[in-house]
Structure 1
Amino acid sequence: MCSHNVHHVPMTESPLSLAPGQLLARGVCRHLRALGFACIEELVPSRGLRVDVMALGPKGEIWVVECKSSRADFTADRKWRGYLDWCDRFFWAVGADFPLDLLPDEGGVILADGYGAELVRDAPEIRLASARRRVVTRTFARHAALRLQSLRDPRLSPLT
C-alpha cells in the first residue's frame, strides 16, 4: 500500500475481483478526487485509443493517467504517445515495485495501489488547443452521463 494520508472509504467490491491495472486506476481516481478532479476510467477519446483514467480538474484541466501493473504491461503498450494529444498532462501510474527508470520523461509518475496514490513526478504541461479541449470535454461529459444512465437503468442498450 502507498504511504500516504488518504481517508479510506469502505470498498463496495473486493480488491480480489479487480485486475491489477484496475486496482491502480481506483487508487489514482481516489487521489485525484481528493484534489478536486472528476475521473472516468476506460474512456475512448478517439477510435483506437482507450485511456485508463481521464480526469477533469476544477479549472477545466484534462489529465490522462495510464496504469501499468508490470514491466510486460508497459513494454506491450505501443499507443501511449497517442494519448498526449488528448490531455494537458500525461501520467504513468505504477505500483511501488515498478522499475521507474523504464518510464519516459514525457509523463509524470504516480505511485498507486487499490486504496490511494501519490504524485512522485509532475508531468510537463502542454495545454490543449481550445477546439480539442471542447471535443475532449464533450466526450468526457457524454461518457460520464451515459455511464451514470446505464447504472440507473442497466436494461438500456448501449449507444454505438
Structure 2
Amino acid sequence: MTAAELIRLLKLEPHPLEGGYFRRIYESSLRCDCGYGSRPLLTSIYYLLTQESPVGLLHKNRSDILHYHQRGAAVKYIMISPEGSLSEHILGPDIQHGETLQLLVPGGWWKASRLCEGEYALISEAVAPGFDYADNEIATEEMVQRNYSEMLDVLNRCIRQRPSEDADL
C-alpha cells in the first residue's frame, strides 16, 4: 500500500498546524472538566507522515497522548520534559532492535516527530482528556532560541522556519 492510497482510504487531510496528514476517528461523548475547560474524555486520530511531509513540528499539548505504530516505517520522536531534559524515542515495528509499538508523551512535554527511512509511517494517537486546539502550542524559532538554545541544532529541523525576508527578491 502506498501513502497516497492510505490518504485516500482513510480520508486523511493535511494537518493544519503540525505537518503530516490526519483524521479524527473518535471523540468520546463523555466529558470531563479538566481544570482548563470541558473536554471529551478521549479523542483519537490517525496520523500519517510521508516523504513529502516527513516532520511533525515541535509542539506540546496539555493532555497525555499515547502514540501507536500502525504500519510503515519507524518514527523518531524528540521530546523535551517540562524541566528541559531532551530524549529521543523510536516508534516502530522492530521491537527486537529497540523500537516500541507505543509511546506516551505526557501532557506539558514538547514533542516533534520525523519519518525514518521509508515511504510513510501510519500511527494512531489517543488523547486524554480529549484534544482541543486551544490546548496545543506550536514552538516558534524565538521560543526555542530563548528556552532551548543549547538544543538548537537538534530542534532546528522540527520548528516552522520564518520565511526569509529575501524570499520575494
| TM-score between both structures, scaled by the size of structure 1 | 0.29
The structure with more helix, counted as a fraction of residues: 1
The structure with more strand, counted as a fraction of residues: 2
| TM-score between both structures, scaled by the size of structure 2 | 0.28
